Amino acid sequence: MKKLLENSRYLAIVGVIGLLVAALTAFAWGAFQTVHAVILVAESLGADPGITVALIEIVDSFLIAVTFLIFSVSMYELFIGDLDVPEWMVAHDLYALKTKLSSMIVMVMAVKFLGKLVDVKDYGNVLQFGAAVTLVAAVLIAFGYFGHKEE
């Protein structure tokens, strides 16, 4: 039973592979969006109002891709073994992994809010959306700041 439980950590490879596939897909999607934005800029000679939103969506796609990559690498390091990657890419415990996720969620929400702000039609909805983003970001930042208990 002990050996079975010790080797069960390798089940995490399913999550590692899934997150790596998601990261590769998100990077491909970001590259596709980049090509689309470049074509939009070239065809409209920079006059299309949708260019700003397209560029913001590119940032969002690559942020999500990087998040998946960091999670894949971190899960491998936590459950399977060491990798030769930069230190900033690895979370050394589950709390650090959750904190990295919280940070990325705040960044993605900020990019989404900026996208809404650029394409504003109803200022009341933008204000409500901004208040919701601020509240969620504040909670996530507080979680990162206050949530870890020193042992």
Q: What is the pLDDT of residues 73-108, one digit of tens each?
A: 999 999 998 999 998 888 888 888 888 888 888 888
The percentage of the chain sitting over the pLDDT mark of 70, rounded to a whole number, equals 97
Does position 151 have pLDDT exceeding 60, yes or no? no
End-to-end Cα spacing for the chain? 30
CA 63 to chain centre: 5
Half-sphere exposure of 93 (CA within 13 A, CB side): 4
DSSP helix/strand/coil, 115: helix
pLDDT the model gives residue 74: 92
What CA dihedral angle connects 17, 23, 29 and 32, to 10 degrees?
-100
The percentage of the chain sitting over the pLDDT mark of 90, rounded to a whole number, equals 36
pTM of the model: 0.79
Question: At 148, is the pLDDT very low, low, confident or very high (cuts 50, 70, 90)?
Answer: low
The per-residue pLDDT for range 8-46, each reduced to its tens digit, is 888 999 999 999 999 999 999 999 999 999 999 999 988
pLDDT the model gives residue 23: 96
pLDDT the model gives residue 121: 79
User: How many whole angstroms separate alpha carbon 148 and alpha carbon 88?
Assistant: 18
Half-sphere exposure of 14 (CA within 13 A, CB side): 3
